[in-house]
Amino acid sequence: MTKKPNCRRAAAAMLAAIERGKTMDEAADRLSDLSPPDRRLAKAMVMFALRRRGDISSILAKYIKRNIPGRPHLARALLQIGAVQILLMDIPDHAAVAETVNACGRGEAPYRGLINAVLRKLIKETKETDNKDTNKDWGLGYDPLSNFPDWMASNWLENYGDETAQIIADMHCQKPQLDLCFKSTDAIPAFMDALKQTDTSSLSADPLSPNLIRLSDTADVETLPGFDAGDWWVQDYAATLPVVWLDKMLSQNMTTDAQILDLCAAPGGKTMQLAALGHQVTALDISAARLDRLKANLSRTRLKADIIQADVMADNIAQLTDKTFDAILLDAPCSATGTIRRHPDLPLHRRDKDVLKLTEIQKAMLDHADQWLSIGGMLTYVTCSLDQREGEAQIKDFLDRHPNYEACAPAGLPEELCNQMSGEKGFSYLRTTPANWHDKGGMDGFFASVLRKIKA
């Protein structure tokens, strides 16, 4: 008989692979042999371990005199997986210990007794203090910033101040809710009615904007009403705002069916937004795999866009030769620190020096995009980064180098999410962080600016 794959061991293998440099998507193949319920459980364990990595390391350090090696076996990862079950998940303590210890293989045999003893001590401590994540600190003094690299935490403190930085970090430690962007407001009432009749009827849904609703919990999106009909797609509220702003500016310009070039477009949330608003979209991305996802999303939602696989920085892109557009949207490559809630592996993979390299790429892409924009056209620059070097400072530098552009005032956006760069050449911009609307579940961190090309 074939031995059933061990859920805890698979989770530990995925966590260890991420620690060695794999992304979550790349490491997910460690769960491929599990049943769907076990796969969901294993992934949840890994997500908890990543989101509270600093806290878990601190509390385990109380019981371990010397570090457990990370390779070649999985002992350290198994201990982390065991700890999150006891401290953070609704799993019976006896099952957390027994199943984790049973997941030890030959390589972990020397640490089997240690893992068993440490997990039992954690159980005893949580029972004595009766604080199973109630205060989030397990007697350590909860500091959410301790779950992130020092350079990242310092950047948030410098840019946003202590209170906001603490909330940003705390929100990054929590599972985000699910936002659905509808291509038409007409589909929302039917969705709400159908949701009440399904197995997911325990989910509540709240509108955040005319086209977007937020579900109270995550769900298997393919089982939600309207998925097959293509009525909606998953997109964080903050990610929708740059297109809302651009569309408002175009409508003020009497351009309701604009020709728009969407650079770095995949997987296509903003492409679908623009197409649903009636604009003629050309979506460009360098990655064939990511473009396949964009095509699949367009097919399901029955929306249209012209697709180009190319490098934004290429000197000659045949499909764009001698073409100009009414608007360009550049969702530039960035450190993506605004999306850590959804990608908790990012803090393991990012370094401060990476941001410096990315700012040079962003600068070059902005300069390169100018060739395809018509006089009077709009250039929208977007990053999902909390680092102001990739946002506010990047646009200030661009405007200093390009006096033929002017910044547009935000339009159609919540006032509390709009900011003003001070100084003689100040400009308005969109800035969101997970701390915004944190009582409603927060949002991803984004920067956006809309610039008008006033002359050649």
Give, in order, the Cα–Cα distances in Å from 142 to each of 47, 138, 145, 337, 408. 19, 8, 9, 21, 42
Q: Is 270 flagged in the annotation as binding?
A: yes
The answer for residues whose C-beta is within 8 angstroms of residue 28's C-beta and 6 or more apart is 14, 43
Q: Is 54 flagged in the annotation as binding?
A: no
Q: Is 265 flagged in the annotation as binding?
A: yes
CB of 429 within 8 A of CB of 449? yes
CB of 102 within 8 A of CB of 67? no
How is residue 110 written in tokens? 């020397």
Q: Is 153 flagged in the annotation as binding?
A: no
Q: Is 314 flagged in the annotation as binding?
A: no
**What's the chain's length in residues?**
456
Q: Is 42 flagged in the annotation as binding?
A: no
Q: Which H, E and C letters describe 98-148, residue by residue?
A: HHHHHCCCCCCHHHHHHHHHHHHHHHHHHHHHCCCCCCCCCCCCCCHHHHC
Q: Is position 384 annotated as part of the catalytic site?
A: yes
| Cα–Cα distance measured from residue 22 to residue 29, given in angstroms and rounded to the nearest whole number | 11
End-to-end CA distance of the chain: 73
Considering the candidates 7, 173, 384, 418, report the single residue annotated as catalytic: 384
Q: Is 267 flagged in the annotation as binding?
A: yes
Q: Is 193 flagged in the annotation as binding?
A: no
Q: Is 262 flagged in the annotation as binding?
A: no
SS3 209: strand
Q: Is 367 flagged in the annotation as binding?
A: no
| Cα–Cα distance measured from residue 181 to residue 188, given in angstroms and rounded to the nearest whole number | 10
CB of 52 within 8 A of CB of 88? yes
The answer for residues whose C-beta is within 8 angstroms of residue 37's C-beta and 6 or more apart is none
Binding site, by residue number, is: 264-270, 285, 311, 331
Binding site for S-adenosyl-L-methionine, by residue number, is: 264-270, 285, 311, 331
* Catalytic residue numbers, as ranges: 384
